[in-house]
Chain A
Amino acid sequence: MSVATSRHTAATVTPRRKRRPVLPYWLLIPAIAILIVGTGYPTAWQLFNSFREYGLAQQFGKPAPWVWFDNYKELLGDSQFWAVVLRSLVFCGVTAAVTLIIGLGIALLMAAVGRTVRIILQISMLLAWAMPVVASMTVWTWLFDRRRGVINYVLDMIPGVDMYRFNWLAEPLTFFFVASVIVTWMSVPFVAFSLYAGLTQVPEEVLEATDLDGASRTQRLRLVILPIIRPVMSIVLLLQIIWDLRVFTQITILQDAGSSATEFDLLGTYIYKLGTGSQHFGTAAAASVIVLIITLIVSGGYVWRIMKEDSK
């Protein structure tokens, strides 16, 4: 990702490569093959079945009648579905933004500190990342538990603040606040590591040059470092948006501890309830396709920009 060199390389292709290259196609085959098998078929199945009525009976052999857009109409006409969509978009926006900012901060910190502190940070991030989701959700629900939680215990000690038996999971607002904290905590290590890896590619002499030019730290950050790591940042942000929009495990475990009413649903749990819960697999498939379209709309700008940068 060094600024000038890759562009230079692409432009000055050596003569022997001017003929139609065959090697790249061979190199691509393994990746394409596994993607078709592992992702292609299940997705085609899902697309296919979003146009059919597919429930438990169909699993056991009854034929699945074609209902074309009925599943879609049912969903799009349901105001609860739209409420869930809106909630998910807000949740995703807030969480992804916060995650990226904190992740970038930590990545920069990793680059700026000495080796020991860096390793301490990296180990801590990795431990958090490695912790099994079931375990971390259990610990987090304990931390926020109304009766036994450390958070209430500590907050209650602040004079004037009464957190005795405060139930974080009772109201949607505090529920999603807790969810956002947890998802951010879980996502930051990935962002930090990826951005840090990107930062290691920033050439030393460029940084030295900015020092010589007398640039302030913030200027250096804004004008030099960020543009260089923009490709990594874009992809990481894109992934955060995609994942946060469809977050499922954390929400469902929080619902088990709190309330599983639809007010506490995001798209992930909503679709799960449709599919596995009510066995309306056709409708769940349609909902997934709608989510895909929403994701495309939300991230379209990003994807376009990434493609543009790539073709330079």
Chain B
Amino acid sequence: MKKTMVGIAAFATAGALVLAGCSSSDDNTTSPAPSATGGASAEGQNITLWLMGGDTPDALRDYLKTEYAAATGGTLTIEEQDWGDALSKLTTSLPDSENTPDVTEIGNTWSPTFTTVGAFSDISDMYEELGGASLLKSFVDVGIVDGKNYALPYYFGSRYNFYRKDVYEAAGVSVPTTLQEFSDVTKKLTTSDMSGFYIGGSDWRNGISWIFANGGDLAKQGDDGKWVSTLSDPNSIKGLQMLQDLYKNSSHAPVGEFDSTPWVNINDNESTGKPEAATIIAPGWAHWSIGDAAENDNGDPINVWNDEKNGVFVLPGVDGGVAPVFAGGSNIAISAASKNQEGARELMKIIFSADFQNMLGQNGLGPANLDYASSLGDDQFAEALRTSAAGSKLTPAAPGWAAVEGSGLLEEFFGKVNAGGDIPALAAEYDGKISALLNG
């Protein structure tokens, strides 16, 4: 019996190793695609574009498909990926020539990671043609490795505050102009049923604004090129203390909650008729979900913005002005393993064309090319978007940043801080954990 067992095991292992050998040789056939200066044309190439989440409206998607067909005669297929699953799909599909998307949207916080490992094609030669210096600099920077461009901005968003004018008026407070005033005002507004400022305990994407506003940062790159986490930096600690107080005094949100649907709290609650929050901070596109309950022509429930009750303001800085908020948005890149480099480059040209950039703006998505930023319009949302985006900051462009996000360490850290923990001790502990991942 033992002999046979060894026999079976040996057979299985041999079989497995043979198969392993077969596929690993496939790994090496993801040859870097030639840059298409001259050579093959994009004529008739069918390509695939991956978009993350539902941010790009259908009208824009249809535009891309039509334009691409007109330009090359080929078909553009657009596939939408759920943000939550995107990381595993990108990890398996991007290296595989047969199945990689030709062009893909990539979250700006993930750009450094994927760019560093060589997932994308070098498009430095297209940089000027696609917009050059007019493109949003901070986003361009996270797509640069060794001075070459691999990923360029796709659209930017930003975060600003939404507040209930009626609640503020009733309490006799006005919109705060400094960050400390913000804490004071919201504390005053807070009752047992209503948060003056609703922010989830583990919401780091909004929480980091307080670190940034006080001059701190999440990580920095040393002279030796190595990244270290800087939560223990004195300015960061100052910001975290401010946040801890704010959370304790102004927010009834659970300590474990992230930043998913804050707008639910600022609308009048169905049962009580009152809002659960007087102020929230959310990405610009949230305004579509804020307002009075109503029904559209199809009978679907929608929210209609009510200027008497709803208002916006930008998070104020420590000394007035504007606080640096988390810069939302995505980059876009061509997969290095794609066999349709020419078709992919055609699509990039269409995306960065004046018409498409204007369309982005008209739909509330900040265009990558700031020359077209006026297409965002003039309403209060566009103003707030422009103002807050101007000062916004990105997460560190460290190679391992996607791993930091994927591991949930920041959610954990902020959760513990807001639960009332010892900030310097926690900061030191998490600096250790995060630094370990930062350099990839």
Binding site for B on A (CB under 8 A): 32, 36-37, 40-41, 43-45, 48, 55-57, 59-62, 146, 167, 169-170, 258-262, 273-274, 276-280
Distance (Å) between the CB of B335 and the closest chain A CB?
A: 11
Distance (Å) between the CB of B301 and the closest chain A CB?
A: 16
Distance (Å) between the CB of B3 and the closest chain A CB?
A: 15
Contacting residues, chain B, for A36 (C-beta < 8 A): 11-12, 15-16
Binding site for A on B (CB under 8 A): 8, 11-13, 15-17, 19-20, 27-28, 30, 87-88, 91-92, 94-95, 113-114, 116-119, 202, 254-256, 336, 400, 402-404, 406-408, 411-412, 415-416, 437, 440
Contact across chains for B117 and A57 when beta carbons are under 8 A apart: yes
Task: Tell me which of B13, B114, B400, B412 contacts A261 (CB under 8 A).
Answer: B412
Closest to B24 in A: A45
Task: Tell me which of B15, B19, B113, B411 contacts A56 (CB under 8 A).
Answer: B113
Contact across chains for B28 and A259 when beta carbons are under 8 A apart: no
10 closest A-B pairs by beta carbon, nearest first, are A259-B256, A277-B406, A44-B16, A278-B403, A261-B412, A41-B19, A278-B407, A60-B117, A260-B408, A57-B117
Q: Which of B13, B87, B256, B400 is most buried by chain A, counting CB atoms within 10 A of its CB? A: B256
Contact across chains for A279 and B402 when beta carbons are under 8 A apart: yes
Contacting residues, chain B, for A146 (C-beta < 8 A): 254
Contact across chains for B406 and A170 when beta carbons are under 8 A apart: no
Contact across chains for A276 and B17 when beta carbons are under 8 A apart: no
Task: Tell me which of B95, B118, B415 contacts A259 (CB under 8 A).
Answer: B415
Contact across chains for B440 and A56 when beta carbons are under 8 A apart: yes
Contact across chains for B255 and A273 when beta carbons are under 8 A apart: no
| Pairs across A and B, CB under 8 Å, 10 listed | A44-B13, A56-B402, A60-B30, A146-B254, A259-B411, A259-B412, A259-B415, A260-B408, A273-B406, A276-B88
Distance (Å) between the CB of B25 and the closest chain A CB?
A: 12
Given A169-B256, A259-B202, check contact A60 B94 (CB 8 Å): yes
For the complex, give the distance between the alpha carbons of A169 and B87 in Å: 26
For the complex, give the distance between the alpha carbons of A44 and B20 in Å: 8
Contact across chains for B94 and A273 when beta carbons are under 8 A apart: no
For the complex, give the distance between the alpha carbons of A170 and B119 in Å: 39
Other A-B pairs, 15, CB within 8 Å; known A56-B402, A61-B95: A44-B13, A56-B117, A167-B254, A170-B256, A258-B254, A259-B412, A260-B202, A273-B407, A276-B87, A277-B403, A277-B407, A277-B408, A278-B404, A279-B402, A279-B406
Contact across chains for A57 and B440 when beta carbons are under 8 A apart: yes
Contact across chains for A43 and B28 when beta carbons are under 8 A apart: no
Contact across chains for B254 and A44 when beta carbons are under 8 A apart: no
- Total contacts A-B at CB 8 Å: 107
For the complex, give the distance between the alpha carbons of A43 and B119 in Å: 26
Contact across chains for A61 and B30 when beta carbons are under 8 A apart: yes
Closest to A260 in B: B408
Task: Tell me which of B17, B28, B403, B408 contacts A44 (CB under 8 A).
Answer: B17
Task: Tell me which of B19, B94, B116, B437 contacts A278 (CB under 8 A).
Answer: B437
Distance (Å) between the CB of A168 and the closest chain B CB?
A: 11
Given A261-B411, A261-B412, A280-B403, check contact A48 B15 (CB 8 Å): no
For the complex, give the distance between the alpha carbons of A60 and B336 in Å: 10
Closest to A258 in B: B256
Contacting residues, chain A, for B406 (C-beta < 8 A): 273, 276-279
Contact across chains for A273 and B408 when beta carbons are under 8 A apart: yes
Task: Tell me which of A48, A61, A170, A279 contacts B27 (CB under 8 A).
Answer: A61
Distance (Å) between the CB of B440 and the closest chain A CB?
A: 7
